[in-house]
Amino acid sequence: MAFKMLSIEDIDVIGKTVFVRVDMNTPVDPKSGKLMEHNRIAEASVTIRDLKKSKVVVASHQGRVGRNDFISLEQHAKVLTKCLGYKVKFVDDVFGPAAREQIDSLSNGEVLLLDNLRLSAEENIEFLPADAAKTMLVQRLYKHFDACVLDSFPTAHRSCPSIVGFPELLPACGGRSVVKELNAINKILDVAKGIYATVLGGAKISDRLEAIDTLIANNRADKVLLTGMVGNVFLKAAGQLVSPLEIQNGTRYVKQAKKLLANHPDVFELPKDVAIKSNESRVEVTIKELEINDKILDIGSNTIDNYSRIIRSSGTIFMNGPPGMFEDHRFSKGTEELLRAMTSSLGTTIVSGGHLSAALERIGRKELIDHVSTAGGALVLFLAGKKLPLFEVLDKAAKGD
């Protein structure tokens, strides 16, 4: 997708108060509540450091409401302090009086991190840019800023107020990690080789289903290896899964998956066996052996072997989302083994999303992947050629529309 984008050098930021939307959304250990890796925070620090002559207000979301990873950004402020090498202030507020007071008290070179953007109900909703600019979040804050920098490629596909609202009212440009990400992906796509294998997993369904058709049409998915919740949806669509799908919009997703299977019968690979928990241990069973109350927590060894063979024989491999609950060592085998297969492949390899990045760190093989992206669903949609809200508003800002 062709678009224009200004950089930090193209707008007036020296001595100004700058709103910087980053994505520091990080996997959280479900037991300890601690951040499991710091890659996205380290990526964000590059742009923040380059704004050292400005008053910098940093904003990010973390997790989803109601889940264990929906936490305050206080830990993130401490990690960001270590990455930058100087103090990052933190305020446990998003757009209220405390946040605005802290913003107005900043001096040049100081950095303030607002609390989790999703504490604001509006940030959990997607808007058209003009409507996003009218939200309380944007209206209460934008008068305190002189410019905004969007440096959140992982949320490029979301039209939430912090992404598309501020550029309606302020000069806007892209940050360093967005530029780095786009350059790396475009270089890789220029040398991408067939056969193209796409490995999809994780818990987010809608982005994957939206992109699959276009990925196949664009010759970026000769083989689609399905795992995780998206794999369960396709198993249900194929009539192979007896247990219910405990997800919102499950019926609609199954209907979409049935259509995809019918239209592309030779493209999809489904799990043949999976891992469940029995007596607190990992137990592998075939899909036919699954009982109605069994919860799938990973792919099984036969599926791992089959997928690994396809990965090693492919020219380009893109993997998005973990095959299982990799945070629990009992169910990390699928994630780790497929990543190992990628690192031993002679093909071009792209791994996307914070969870897989954390898993690569854990097995010590990150440097063997051609490109590790901080983005998850956004990269899937970008590779599929979809228009992403973040780039649309940056393009508009660059053209002065």
Size of the chain, expressed as the number of residues it contains: 401
Residue 1 lies in a domain: no
Domain count for the chain: 2
Q: What is the Cα–Cα distance from 279 to 93, expressed in whole angstroms? A: 43
68 and 204: one domain?
Answer: no
Those residues with Cβ within 8 angstroms of residue 126's Cβ, 6 or more apart along the chain or in another chain: 158, 159, 160, 389
Across 71-195, where does the E strand assignment appear? 88-91, 111-114, 147-151, 172-174
Residue 31 lies in a domain: yes
Residue 89 backbone class (left: φ over 0; alpha: ψ -120 to 50; beta: rest): beta
pLDDT digits (tens, 9 = 90+) for 245-258: 888 888 999 999 99
pLDDT value at residue 2: 66
Residue 259 lies in a domain: yes
Parallel, antiparallel or unpaired: strands 281-286 and 273-278: antiparallel
Query: Which structural domain range is residue 215 located in?
Result: 194-346
The pLDDT > 70 percentage for the chain reads: 100
Neighbours of 207 (CB within 10 A): 22
CATH of the domain at 125: 3.40.50.1260
The amino acid at residue 381 is L
256 and 341: one domain?
Answer: yes
pLDDT digits (tens, 9 = 90+) for 283-322: 999 999 999 999 999 999 999 999 999 999 999 999 999 9
Neighbours of 107 (CB within 10 A): 6
161 and 17: one domain?
Answer: yes
84 and 153: one domain?
Answer: yes
50 and 145: one domain?
Answer: yes
pLDDT digits (tens, 9 = 90+) for 342-380: 999 999 999 998 889 889 988 999 999 999 987 888 888
25 and 100: one domain?
Answer: yes
111 and 226: one domain?
Answer: no
Residue 356 lies in a domain: no
Residue 203 lies in a domain: yes
Residue 279 lies in a domain: yes
Residue 366 lies in a domain: no
